[in-house]
Amino acid sequence: MDVAATKRAFQSQNIESPIHVAANGKVALDMLKGRGMPALHPTPHIILIDLNMPEMGGIEFLKELRKDPELKACSVFVMTGQNSEQNVLEAYNLNVAGYIVKPIQYDSFLEAIATLHSFWKLIELPN
């Protein structure tokens, strides 16, 4: 559902950045590090994650990501359904670029993606 929503929002906002999808934190790490598959190239510098995922959740994924010298500079945005204070704090302690609570309305989601897109265009990212 979230993947479909994101793809749809990218399309309607004319965002042409390629999207790579992973089912959970572990698969995402495998894809980024090239474990059991060729690593994604170029390395995606922007990562959107949910916190609640099977096998490896968002927080655990972030911990692993920040340990990796090649990947620790990635900008990670949390997009999740819950805003428990503890999760927000934990995520920012792992230097997320933003914590966004998924809105119920698709229109609001579209706005959030549009805002993120302008932000990505504005900022300089490492090569």
Minimum CB–partner distance for residue 14 and other proteins (Å) = 15
Which is nearer to other proteins, 16 or 107 (by Cβ)? 107
For other proteins, which stretch binds (CB under 8 A), given 16-24, 39-47, 60-68, 77-85? 77-85
Please name every residue paired with 26 in a beta bridge, in sequence order, or none if there are none.
none
> Which residues, including other chains, have CB under 8 Å from residue 113's CB and lie 6 or more apart?
6, 9, 10, 13, 15
What is d(CA 98, CA 79) in angstroms, rounded to the nearest whole number?
A: 9
**Is there binding between residue 102 and other proteins (CB under 8 A)?**
yes
Q: In the complex, what is the shortest distance from the CB of residue 34 to other proteins, in angstroms, rounded to a whole number? A: 32
Phi–psi pair at 33, nearest 5 degrees:
-90, -10
Residues that bind other proteins (CB under 8 A): 1, 5, 8, 12, 52, 81-84, 102-107, 109
